[in-house]
């Protein structure tokens, strides 16, 4: 079905991430081990609570918007309803960081700083506005 509506990349991403979480995966186990050094590691699922909350909020909202846009004709969705979907999409587009499948933090890497994310977003938006004028 994802292929039929050209959402196969989204399906593959979500399938990979959710499969990692619900099936045995050493990376997910290691993700939950925290401590000052290797001798003091303790398992803690709390360290990713906010990540999983944000992941669920972001991608469930994204899927809801995609579903509404993809099946708007079949579901006979009203213009008023679709305009509310556009507002939700705008809210999502304002996020500077969507939850990654593998985070910078768990790789002990510094991710892009907020100012860099703002500049990248601005550049992306300006490129898309130029392309939409063609």
Cβ neighbours of residue 10 closer than 8 Å, sequence gap 6 or more: 2, 63, 66
- For residue 46, is pLDDT > 80? no
| Radius of gyration of the CA atoms of the chain, in A | 19
Largest CA distance in the chain: 59
34 — pLDDT class (breaks 50, 70, 90)? confident
Whole-model pTM: value is 0.73
- Reported as type and span, the H/E element at residue 5 is none
DSSP assignment, residue 100? P
Are the C-beta atoms of residues 61 and 92 closer than 8 Å to each other? yes
Q: Sign of dihedral through CA atoms 97, 91, 19, 9?
A: negative
Predicted confidence band at 133 (pLDDT cuts at 50, 70, 90)? low
Which of 30-34, 75-79, 98-102, 113-117 shows the highest mean pLDDT? 75-79
| 58 pLDDT tier (thresholds 50, 70, 90) | very high
Whether the CB-CB separation of 8 and 15 falls below 8 Å is answered with no
Mean pLDDT in the chain?
86
Please give the Cα distance from 96 to 125 (Å, whole number): 12
Residue extents of the structural domains in the chain: 8-132
């Amino acid at each position: 079905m994802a292929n039929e509506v050209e959402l196969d990349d989204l399906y593959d991403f979500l399938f990979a991430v959710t499969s990692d979480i619900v099936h045995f995966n050493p990376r997910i186990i290691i993700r939950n081990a925290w401590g000052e050094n290797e001798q003091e590691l303790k398992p803690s699922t709390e360290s990713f609570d906010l990540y999983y909350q944000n992941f669920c909020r972001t991608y469930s909202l994204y899927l809801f918007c995609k579903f509404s846009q993809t099946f708007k004709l079949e579901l006979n969705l009203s213009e008023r309803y679709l305009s509310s979907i556009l507002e939700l999409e705008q809210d999502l587009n304002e996020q500077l960081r969507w939850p990654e499948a593998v985070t910078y933090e768990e790789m002990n890497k510094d991710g892009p700083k907020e100012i860099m994310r703002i500049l990248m977003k601005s550049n992306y938006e300006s490129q898309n506005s130029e392309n939409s004028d063609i």
